[in-house]
Structure 1
Amino acid sequence: MSISPRLNRFDLSMIVISLVIGMGIFATPGQVAQYLRQPSLYFAAWLIGGLVSFCGALTFAEIGSEYPTTGGFYKVFSYCFHPAFAFMINWILVLSNAASVAAVALIGAQYINPIIMPAALQNELGIKLTTITSVLILYVVNFLGVKTSARTQSVLIIFKISLILLLCTAVFKSNTVPDHTILHTSSSVNSISAFGLSLVAIFFTYGGYQQTINFGGDIINARTNIPKSIFAGMLVVITLYLLINFAYYSVLGINGLQHQPALAATLAGIILGSVGYKVVSVLMFASVLAYINVNIMANPRVYYAMAEEGILPSLFKRVNPRTQVQEFSLSFFVAAVLLILFFVNSFQNVLSYVMFFDTIGLSMAALCIFILRKKRRNTDASNVYRIKWYPWIPLLFIICYWFVTVVIFIEHPFAALICLCAFIMGLIIYFFTKLRQKPTPIRNRKVDDLY
């Protein structure tokens, strides 16, 4: 049974927002302020990061419209390059996504446990219990059907947007005068390096929209709704990010941003006083649930694409015809998350190398737009979304991400080496899997078949 379209444009717009707004916006502004101590540079970095990310979102909007299929982030690599390259990029992203979900779930438990748990469970055991329970509840929700999980996602993302808007009102209640002291860096080289490192954190905070194309088979009228949903969702995200950064700066100043780890709690205390912590804890927990839920929805679709090409067993692409749920793939991803939860204890330990994978994966995926246009140049594309100012928009996105990749290489060479080894390991796994398979006449579905 194949996947049938069940999600509308609003559903996908909420998914886009959920994929992008994770926990980064509540932590990375402090990190950016440590690299860029001048307010003008700080806000310039967030504006440039938003502009580049919007260019990336438009690029993926065209790719998603051109190639609307389940597990699109895998399939487009397979079609434009080679299935081996597609697996090399995607296998590590799926693993890192499971690890990210586990780490973010731990953060949510740390916020909510002081409110819901007795004193005897205000410890690591209590945090693990809350985390596992949360993941299992969302597993059941997703098992009920893709439409049920999409509706749940819409409710959770409304809580997340409400949290950000609530924190932004601290601007009107704070009497703090921001510190406008300008601290100059020692050299232009250091300035370029600092700006690049700030973009690493900012691109991580803006990332996630690329997973939208994994829902190509789930979207009603995908060619129209994928680009419009990405466009609308990213506009909301960029607006919210700029608003909350203005609130952070207005209340804390650059120095305060550098030395205040609990940004959300600080702003909540200004707005609501002693009850602010409890209110923001509940909203932060809802925000975490939104991130977990959308990843439980998205990642099994990548398994589906891999199974269609014979890299994974056919069991991974089985779909319940009534609920449109990949029951085995869903269970496999949740099991991976729960397994990781037994071994990780902090958010930072899990995500230290994620951005390097993203810069390579997203920049290479964006190159597919040129290949798709070349392959489709002699066909009618009147019903396909086309970027204006092509090729400058995708080129700007790719060049900026390659710049960040070089910065990571220079600043963290050991981490870059480990990541490259992981990519190579994926290539080895692919060819080992293919050698063990019996020859099959089934060929990859061409993009022309989608028209």
Structure 2
Amino acid sequence: MPSSPTERQMGVWAATAVVTGEAISLGIFLTPAAMARSLGSPALLAAVWCGMALMTLAGALCFTELAVRNPQDGGEYLYLRRGFGPQIAFLYAWMAALVMYPGVAASLCVGTVPYLQALFPVPLWLVPALPALMIAALGAINYVGMRLSSGLMTVLNWLKIPVLLGLVGWAFVSGHATAANLAPLAARRAGSDPLGAAIAGAAVSAFFCFGGWWEAGKIAGEVRNPRRTLPIAFTGGVLLVTALYLLVSLGFVAVVPMEQIRSNTAFVAQFGASLFGPEGGRVLSACVVLSVAGGLLVLFMAVPRVTCALGNAEPSGPLRIFARLHPRFGTPANAVLLQTGMALVILMLGAFDRILAFIIFSSVVFLALTAATLFRGPAAKAWWYPVAPLLFIGGCGVLALMLLASRTVPSLIGAALVLLGLPVRRFMVGKAVAPAGLVGARNDR
């Protein structure tokens, strides 16, 4: 990436919005209900959130150190390349750019359509095309400039916070929420899942509900004063997300008792109707659309930076095309087009649900490997080292084993899809060696 200081356009507010944006998305309305129904106890629900928050905070400390050491665009790809070499890094980029993130984008766009229909009278003939139109619009916004996409992303993601706090506050002020629905705090309700399975399932759900906080590392090259901004964004963002999930989860249960939660999607309607009557569905639908839009903007802004870093790092071959910046807009235009095009392809194939099921296991493994790169270089001079990386790696290992045990076939298929990147890289890159100094280059711009 060019080294002009003017490229660093994102301050603390924008960088923190990246951390919170994808974590506070559709999952904040659906996951707490599923977790509450399975766990059957407000105390267990809070304990799982706090446990995952501790693990997430440990990961955020690790990613902060990595981002400050490597304040360029690319995130996990950059860290893995410098820690474990170009092949492991390519496998991550192969999974992220071509499979995982386009699948996430397609899934979120499809999941948002019912909420758009609740808000606007969408013609039936237009409904099937809405996800594709959303993907194309997001791609166009990120194609024409970082300033536009960053500004819009920051506004939407910070707007979520008062909206969610307002929902919880109104629930208690209006009298619809009652502490009686939380009591007894520790006793499990009838019909809850077996304790071990409930905790394991809730832990996996909570971890992925927090998911996306690591995206700030991907756009580190766009951040002003990264040594100051990135630690605030990572740790502050994770703490903010934790507080919101705890408040929203307990607020939801205080309005709709656990015994009455029927399903994730039905719960959104139940909660909205309880607070706002017949218009509740529209109010909650607007909140969902706002939350998902902010998360999608983060995704479409961050992921092309990984592909661009891949193109910059490979010394030859067709991948170099993704390193080019638009001559007018200064954006990684070809990488944005790849992200948009792959999301449209996956959407048309209707394969996003299967792809996500396949890739979850591999994504956890790559998160653990990324944190492990801290042990491949100079030791971090921080009070939390080495406890934080060991805690995060251990937590990821436990989650990966849970996923492998419960979703063995999809996990193995996903791992095979990721490993398919090895012959692809050999075909596209050959035996070329990276130029001296590229892998270890440092640039604080």
Q: Do these two structures clear the TM 0.5 threshold for a shared fold by scoring above it? A: yes
Map residues 365-444 of structure 1 onto 2, 5 A cutoff: 365-374=370-379, 387-435=382-430, 439=432, 442-443=435-436
Residues 6 and 219 of structure 1 are in contact (CA less than 8 Å); yes or no, is this contact kept in structure 2?
yes
Map residues 10-409 of structure 1 onto 2, 5 A cutoff: 10-94=13-97, 95-118=99-122, 121-122=123-124, 125-168=125-168, 169-172=170-173, 173-174=175-176, 177-178=180-181, 180=184, 182=188, 191-257=195-261, 259=263, 261-310=265-314, 313-320=319-326, 322-344=328-350, 348-374=353-379, 387-409=382-404
Structure 2 counterpart of 1:220, which letter? R
Task: Out of 166-175 and 211-220, give the one that drifted further.
Answer: 166-175
Structure 2 counterpart of 1:20, which letter? A
RMSD: 2.6
Residues 189 and 259 of structure 2 are in contact (CA less than 8 Å); yes or no, is this contact kept in structure 1?
no
Instruction: Tell me: CA distance 1:170–1:267, structure 2 relative to 1, closer, same or farther (3 Å).
Output: farther
- Quote the Cα distance in structure 1 between the aligned partners of 2:70 and 2:139: 29
- Quote the Cα distance in structure 2 between the aligned partners of 1:239 and 1:448: 38
- Quote the Cα distance in structure 1 between the aligned partners of 2:318 and 2:377: 26
Q: CA deviation at 1:195?
A: 1.9
* Residue matched to 1:383: none
Q: Deviations over 1:19-47 (max 9, x none)?
A: 32221121122332344223322221111
Task: Out of 175-184 and 311-320, give the one that drifted further.
Answer: 175-184
Q: Deviations over 1:131-158 (max 9, x none)?
A: 2222222333222210111110012213
Q: Deviations over 1:363-394 (max 9, x none)?
A: 111111222324xx8xxxxxxxx542211112
Instruction: Tell me: CA distance 1:109–1:13, structure 2 relative to 1, closer, same or farther (3 Å).
Output: same
- Quote the Cα distance in structure 2 between the aligned partners of 1:53 and 1:256: 31
Q: Deviations over 1:183-216 (max 9, x none)?
A: 59999xx644432222111100011111211112
* Residue matched to 1:382: none
Instruction: Tell me: CA distance 1:165–1:265, structure 2 relative to 1, closer, same or farther (3 Å).
Output: farther
Q: Deviations over 1:87-132 (max 9, x none)?
A: 11231122211111011011222211243235xx34xx53332222
In structure 2, runs of 5+ residues without a counterpart are none
Residues 149 and 293 of structure 1 are in contact (CA less than 8 Å); yes or no, is this contact kept in structure 2?
yes
In structure 1, runs of 5+ residues without a counterpart are 378-385
Residues 103 and 343 of structure 2 are in contact (CA less than 8 Å); yes or no, is this contact kept in structure 1?
yes
Give TM-score scaled by structure 2 length.
0.89
Q: CA deviation at 1:48?
A: 0.4
Q: CA deviation at 1:64?
A: 0.6
Structure 1 counterpart of 2:139, which letter? Y
Instruction: Tell me: CA distance 1:433–1:421, structure 2 relative to 1, closer, same or farther (3 Å).
Output: same
Structure 2 counterpart of 1:371, which letter? R
Give TM-score scaled by structure 1 length.
0.88
Q: Deviations over 1:227-274 (max 9, x none)?
A: 111122112111111100111221223333454533333222222222
- Quote the Cα distance in structure 1 between the aligned partners of 2:191 and 2:270: 28
Residues 313 and 434 of structure 2 are in contact (CA less than 8 Å); yes or no, is this contact kept in structure 1?
no
- Quote the Cα distance in structure 2 between the aligned partners of 1:351 and 1:255: 30
- Quote the Cα distance in structure 1 between the aligned partners of 2:420 and 2:258: 42
What is the SS of the residue equivalent to 1:29?
helix
Runs of 4+ in 1 over 4 A off after TM superposition: 183-187, 347-350
- Quote the Cα distance in structure 1 between the aligned partners of 2:59 and 2:73: 20
Instruction: Tell me: CA distance 1:193–1:276, structure 2 relative to 1, closer, same or farther (3 Å).
Output: closer
How many pairs does the alignment contain?
432
What is the SS of the residue equivalent to 2:383?
coil
- Quote the Cα distance in structure 1 between the aligned partners of 2:24 and 2:154: 13
Q: CA deviation at 1:349?
A: 4.5
What is the SS of the residue equivalent to 1:319?
coil
Residues 204 and 355 of structure 1 are in contact (CA less than 8 Å); yes or no, is this contact kept in structure 2?
no
- Quote the Cα distance in structure 1 between the aligned partners of 2:116 and 2:192: 43
What is the SS of the residue equivalent to 1:323?
coil
